[in-house]
Structure 1
Amino acid sequence: MRSDVLIVARPGRTPHIEGRGAIAGRRTQSDTVHLVSSAATPLGGDAISIRIIVESRARLSVRTVAATVALPGAATVESHATWTLEVAGELDLDPEPTIVAATARHHAATHLTLAANGAVRVRERIQIGRTGERQGFWSGSLHADVDGRPLLRHRVELGHGSYADDDIAAPRACVSELRYPHVATDAAGTTLELAGGGGLSTWQGDRLHSRP
Structure 2
Amino acid sequence: MHTELCIDASRDRSPRITSVGGLAGRQTGPDTVHLIGTAATPLGGDTIVVRISVAAGARLEVRSVAASLAMPGALNRHSSAQWYFEVGEGASLVFDPEPMVVVSDASHSVVNTVVVHEDSALWLRERTQIGRFEEASGSWSSSMRCDVGGSPLLRHRVELGEGSVAHDMLSAPLSMSSTLQYPDSRPSEVDLSDGSMRLALAGGGSLSTSVGRRLVPAGSGG
TM-score (norm 1): 0.97
SS for the counterpart of 2:13 is coil
Q: Distance in 2 between matches of 1:50 and 1:62?
A: 12
AA in 1 matched with 2:147:
D
What amino acid sits opposite 2:212 in the alignment?
G
Report the residue type matching 2:21 in the other structure: G
Alpha-carbon spacing, 1:86–1:134, altered in 2? closer, same or farther (3 Å) = same
Alpha-carbon spacing, 1:199–1:27, altered in 2? closer, same or farther (3 Å): same
TM superposition shift of 1:177: 0.3
Tell me the CA shift for residue 210 of structure 1: 2.0
Moved over 4 A (4+): none
AA paired with 1:201?
Answer: S
TM-score by length of 2: 0.92
- Distance, in Å, in 2 between the alignment partners of 1:27 and 1:182 is 28
Gap regions ≥5 residues in structure 1: none
Matched, 1:194 2:197: no
Is the Cα contact below 8 Å between 1:184 and 1:201 reproduced in 2? no
**Matched residues in 2 for 1:199 and 1:99: separation?**
25
Q: 2:96 aligns with which of 72, 94, 97?
A: 94
Deviations 1:176-195 (A, max 9, x none): 0000012579xx92101100
Q: Match of 2:138?
A: 136
What number of residue pairs does the alignment pair up? 212
- Computed over aligned residues only, the root mean square deviation of the Cα atoms, in angstroms, reads 1.7
Question: Residues 94-119 of structure 1: CA distance to partner in whole angstroms, max 9, x if unpaired?
Answer: 00000000100000111001112221
Q: Deviations over 1:113-152 (max 9, x none)?
A: 1112221000000000001111000000110000100000
Matches within 5 A, 1:140-159: 140-159=142-161
Q: Which runs of 5+ in 2 are unaligned?
A: 188-193
Percent identity over the alignment? 48
